[in-house]
Amino acid sequence: MRKHLAPTAIALSTLIFLTGCSSSQDGDPEFTEAGAASGPYSVNDCGTLAAPIISETAPIGLPIDGLVIGEDAIPTISVGPDSVPAVELASQQLIPGSGASVAVGDTITVNYCGVGQITGALFDSSWGRGEPATFDLVPGGLIEGWTQGVPGMQVGERRLLQIPGDLGYGANPPGGIEVDETLIFVVELVSIG
């Protein structure tokens, strides 16, 4: 009986491989069909300060570099099994804004959510606390990843920041963040000034 299963298993494996290689999104490395990728995914609801939920399938949302960003009014940040530490700052607009742009030295009010790439766990969220936070965007006042990644944002804009450890907390992180951990933030600009 085993001899008959081997050719069937090989044929099935070939079919699965060929099916996986044919996609209308060929050439787009960021495309992930929701539910198609296997986990585990650490799913963080930015509206709570709770521990992540572990999912064996990709949650619904925008797939970016091993992450899935939920697109609701209060986002989710999911860290997938193929997420890798950032080697340089990545800043990507998720939702456009309008009006004046943020500059270094401005006082900004934002909603934000931060997740560690190694742990996959949420470490801070203004959405989870129920109120936006106000900061002076000045070097030394915030982590370098924010002072480099937030300028240029407009009111209403939502942005993804992937901050490498050397632009985050480096060797001296606060509790809940690993040494040199990549920090993943979704930031939404509420106001300037």
Instruction: Read off the pLDDT of residues 95-110 as tens digits, 9 standing for 90 and up.
Output: 999 999 999 999 999 9
List the chain residues with pLDDT less than 70: 1-37
The residue segments making up the domain with residue 155 are 2-192
Say what the pLDDT of residue 37 is.
59
Say what the pLDDT of residue 34 is.
43
CATH of the domain at 68: 3.10.50.40
Q: How many domains does the chain have?
A: 1
Residues 6+ apart with CB under 8 A from 187: 110, 111, 112, 146, 149, 150, 153, 158, 159, 161
Q: For the whole model, what pTM was predicted?
A: 0.80
Instruction: Read off the pLDDT of residues 24-50 as tens digits, 9 standing for 90 and up.
Output: 333 333 333 444 457 899 999 999 999
